[in-house]
Amino acid sequence: MDSREDDLVCALCWSRLDVLPAPRCERCGHPSAGRQCRFCATLPPFVRAARSVCWVPHEVGSAVVHALKYHGWTAAARGMAARMARLHWPPDVIAERAALIPVPLAPVRERERGFNQAALLSDSLTAHWRIPLWRDALVRTRATRTQTRLTPGERSANVRDAFEVPDGPHGARERLRGLHLVLVDDVLTTGATLNACAAALFDAGARTISYVTFGRARASGDR
């Protein structure tokens, strides 16, 4: 790691990321190696595509994520977002994506941390993709347990109905109606949090949702 504020992660570390290998599923972006994609089955039907840069846990990828989230290296989000911006997408996603929506933190957790890492990634990603960032389109309605030690089923239950699109004259419902939106987060593990966010957006009128993250956890059967 490099301690300079303008480039916290050195070029050698970036080169050692465990990048998701090809071939990848055209929809969910998960490495498929010719097998029928099982990860797609975990995505709701209104989710068009999902993309991630690298595997986690990994000595480099995990260190970058932890440096951002837990050690206050907020400038690392710029390099992470730059690599997220270069991911390959189906042409319809590129043509249709209307706005970035960061996965929200519970207010108490954001106050403790001082920032929302998904919002920091979105701040940089919006400049690369030249689409707006809507910070207020999605809110977390309650604090949830950390997902780290939960089973897939427990993760889904933990975040069920934990997100909503605000109502009222200054809410986002009319603005997002009929649009293709891109949810942004640091890591995709089982997809429970992103799926819960996507369900809230879809229920509020969004037509399609895609996901983009820096890291992705291996699914059962991945090497």
Distance CA 33, CA 35 (A): 6
Distance of CA 129 to the CA centre of its chain: 15
Residue 199 main-chain phi, psi, to 5 deg: -60, -40
Residue 16 main-chain phi, psi, to 5 deg: -95, 5
* Range scoring the smallest mean pLDDT among 2-11, 97-106, 116-125, 194-203: 2-11
pLDDT in tens, 53-89: 999 999 999 999 999 999 999 999 999 999 999 999 9
Other beta carbons within 10 Å of 154: 14
For position 147, what pLDDT does the model report? 59
Q: What is the pTM of this model?
A: 0.92
User: Helical H runs in 31-73?
Assistant: 61-71
Query: What domains are defined for the chain?
Result: 11-217 (3.40.50)
Q: Which residues contact 87 (CB under 8 A, 6 or more apart)?
A: 29, 51, 52, 53, 212
For position 169, what pLDDT does the model report? 60
**Contact in structure between 165 and 198 (CB atoms under 8 Å):** no
**Contact in structure between 169 and 204 (CB atoms under 8 Å):** no
Distance CA 108, CA 23 (A): 41
pLDDT in tens, 144-164: 756 566 666 676 777 888 999
Q: Which residues contact 70 (CB under 8 A, 6 or more apart)?
A: none
Bridge partners of 211? 50, 183
pLDDT in tens, 118-132: 999 999 999 999 999
pLDDT in tens, 87-104: 999 999 999 999 999 999
